[in-house]
Amino acid sequence: MITDTDKGNIGVELKRIVGDEKVYENEPMRDHTTFKIGGEADFLVTPETIEQVTELLKFFKENETAFFFMGNGSNLLVSDDGFRGVAVKLLDDFAGVTFDGEDDKGMHFTAKAGTRMWRLGMFLLEHEATGFEFGTGIPGTVGGAVMMNAGAYGGEMKDVVESVLVADRDGNVKRLSNEEMDFSYRHSAVSDNGYIVLEAVLCLEKGDKQEIRAGIDALTEKRRTKQPLDMPSAGSTFKRPEGYYAAQLIDEAGFRGRTVGGAAVSEKHAGFVINKGGATAEDVVALTNEIKRVVMEQTGVELELEVRKIGF
């Protein structure tokens, strides 16, 4: 918890670590999430180097400062009261992809955590690397995608990740193999252990550029026609329950188009809760809680949020 007394000192230290122009005080989180919802964080910082990230982590531990890491904010619901602590945003200042060469295992690429998934997809396309077509349209960053083993249309990050460079809460850096990442549906060792993803090494096969482009275009069109991409949301709201589809359960429970305040279940895809305009975090919480309650009553299936809640 940051008190008013501490705030000035913390601001000075944050600026020392990442530079004055990379520290934002009382920053509205609605400007940093795809939901366009959220109160102010005491501070938001945008580090550029691994050294800055590890120094921040050590500072947070030594000073018992609350913090969370984010990327594009595409899977976050931030409280209307904001966040009393420091939001660390790994995005364009902490991005980049390199081609590391090819061997008998495949083509190897290193992507920093803040790299947007579509940028990575375009880089891989230019290098004629196939296997990542599923990920190009995922609206987030490499760090977030690795943390939650993001997937779509039959592919998951676990299928393409060779190793991951992470930092622990003490600021120690280590590399984890694919096996050590313990990937499963929307889960990894990163979330279990509170690690911060710094970069990921991907291993892909050589492919045909036209075929890769056609695959990306086909999945993009499928997303465009089936998902409410024109409305603010945090993507798929609930995880897929084993043996079921969340969207189907929500639809059958009569929630398609249902609203609470400015939050609504999308008419286009019942698996998405959208911000129709002026939605608060409390609107979203009320709506998702009601969905969970009714689906449980009707089917006995417990829906679990896929969206990360911050500041509640």
- Hey, which residues are catalytic here? 186, 236, 306
Structure tokens at 50: 């691994």
* Strand partners for 310: 78
- Tell me 239's DSSP state: P
CA angle 180, 150, 267 (to 5 degrees): 160
Rounded to a whole number, what is the distance in angstroms from the first to the last CA of the chain?
Answer: 13
Contact between 193 and 226 under an 8 Å Cβ cutoff? The reply is no
- Please name the amino acid found at residue 236: S
Contact between 152 and 135 under an 8 Å Cβ cutoff? The reply is yes
Cα–Cα distance for residue pair 276/289, rounded to 1 Å: 18
Contact between 139 and 34 under an 8 Å Cβ cutoff? The reply is yes
- Give the burial class of 148: count Cβ atoms within 10 A of its Cβ; 0-12 exposed, 13-18 middle, 19 or more buried: buried
Cα–Cα distance for residue pair 168/298, rounded to 1 Å: 42
Cα–Cα distance for residue pair 207/75, rounded to 1 Å: 31
Structure tokens at 238: 């609930």
- Tell me 240's DSSP state: P
- Give the burial class of 279: count Cβ atoms within 10 A of its Cβ; 0-12 exposed, 13-18 middle, 19 or more buried: buried
**Angstrom distances, CA of residue 24 to CA of 19, 29, 43, 86, 285:** 11, 11, 5, 10, 27
